[in-house]
Homo-oligomer: A and B are copies of this chain.
Amino acid sequence: MDVTLINPFLDATIKVIETMAMTKVSVGKPAVKQGKGTWGTVTGIIGIASKGLSGNLVLSFEEPCILAIVNNMIGEKHQTINEEIVDAVGELTNMISGGAKAALSEQGLLCDMATPMTVVGRDIEIKQFSSAPVISIPFETEAGKFVVEVCLKRDAKKA
């Protein structure tokens, strides 16, 4: 596991969730993802690309966890997954990838981000095609869990 590629996503996740949702986050141990289903009920995906790096960032939230995060962000009391919650996952995916992009660029690893997509539903078969492993990082909040999955490879074709 290449921690120089993983840590920027881990740090950006903590910063965005703690700042935007005023939600304390603790991080578990990163591991290679087993299985090929969506981990949580709402999943955000964004592609990462440049001449030197390519892959995807995936965030996947348990329902109570994302409800608490988004309700904290926007000051509402949604009790089920609806369009507003899904849109917020797209926005969080954007913000976390933006933070990671900035941190990667400080290491001289330049990349650009695609636009976010969301998938709703648990254990939907979703698979990444890369020579790099999918690293799954578990996070815990008071309201529940989420995972961040990073699959990123350095490409030979440098800029």
Give the B-binding residues of A (Cβ under 8 A): 45-51, 54-56, 86-87, 90-91, 93-94, 111-121, 124-130, 151, 153
Q: Is B119 a contact partner of A124 (Cβ separation < 8 A)?
A: yes
Q: Which of B112, B114, B121, B128 contacts A56 (CB 8 A)?
A: B114
Task: State A126–B44 Cα separation when bound (angstroms).
Answer: 10
Copies in the complex: 2
Q: Is B116 a contact partner of A129 (Cβ separation < 8 A)?
A: yes
Q: Is B117 a contact partner of A45 (Cβ separation < 8 A)?
A: yes
Q: A98: shortest Cβ distance to chain B, in Å?
A: 12
Task: State A117–B121 Cα separation when bound (angstroms).
Answer: 16
Q: Is A86 a contact partner of B130 (Cβ separation < 8 A)?
A: no
Task: State A151–B46 Cα separation when bound (angstroms).
Answer: 13
Q: Which of B45, B50, B51, B151 contacts A45 (CB 8 A)?
A: B45
Given contacts A54-B113, A55-B114, A93-B129, 18 further A-B contacts (CB under 8 A): A46-B47, A48-B49, A49-B49, A50-B112, A51-B112, A54-B115, A56-B114, A56-B117, A90-B127, A115-B130, A115-B151, A116-B128, A118-B127, A119-B119, A119-B124, A121-B124, A121-B125, A124-B124
